[in-house]
Amino acid sequence: MGRPRNADARAALLQAAGEILAESGALALTVDEVVRRSGVAKTTLYRHFGSADGLIFALTASRVAAAESPGTGSLRGDLRAIFLAYGEMFEEPLSRELFVWLLTKAMQSPQGAALFAAARIQSGGPTVVALKRAIERGEIPASTNIEMAMHVIQGPLISKRVIGNGRLAPEELELLLNMTMRALAGGSPLAGDGLRPFPSAAPYPSSTS
């Protein structure tokens, strides 16, 4: 059987990489194993991706490129859909392994950090669209810093995956939605967020000598 070429070869390499990651994790993914499983020449892998790391990043990019913003008509509805999508993603073996690989690379080198940042920006595309639509609808201030808003939204989800099991119980989802909506509004209550205005902070008791 002849070796696959061009687009077929690229697809075969990505498929083989995904299978290895899902089955055995990133430590098992080597150039030799990908070549063996895919039937594609090692020189072709290097021509398309440059390295095993380049192959994994391309696999990550291919999985998030087609993501679309939910478009529910409200920021709260969009965020609910996005939070649920993240939860489902973290329960899927390949997505979990890709996330762990990206996070590990981010902590190892500036190049890895750049890869993680690029993947975060790409996967966050639907969230950016949701935020811009919310600004247009007047749900959040026009002065909202999109980059910082992305940290507010993605931070708890990443923390939940790293520290917890990645899943949001129904009550946790509602709490996270309330807290996120309040944060994006700059601390002001939003219509329908189910929250009352912040109470005035009690003064610290004065110390006496």
Q: pLDDT (tens digit, 9 = 90+) per residue, 20-52? A: 999 998 889 999 999 999 999 999 999 999 998
In angstroms, rounded to a whole number, what is the distance separating the alpha carbons of residues 184 and 196?
15
Domains and CATH numbers, the chain: 6-62 (1.10.10.60), 67-184 (1.10.357.10)
Q: What is the pLDDT of residue 89?
A: 79
The conformation of residue 51, written as its DSSP 8-state character, comes to S
Give me 23's structure tokens: 């089955």
Axis-axis angle for helices 52-64, 110-123 (nearest 10): 20
Distance CA 151, CA 158 (A): 10
Note the pTM of the prediction, 2 decimals. 0.71
Res 5: pLDDT: 65
- Average pLDDT for consecutive 10-residue bins of the chain (209 residues)? 70 95 90 96 94 88 73 94 84 85 87 82 85 94 92 86 74 92 74 42 42
Question: For residue 67, what pLDDT is reported?
Answer: 64
Both tokens assigned to 101: 């690989």
> Cβ-count burial of 120 within 10 angstroms (0-12 exposed, 13-18 middle, 19+ buried)?
middle
- What pLDDT is recorded for position 169? 83
> Which DSSP string do the residues of 148-194 spell out, in sequence order?
HHHHHHHHHHHHHHHHS-S---HHHHHHHHHHHHHHHTTT---TTS-
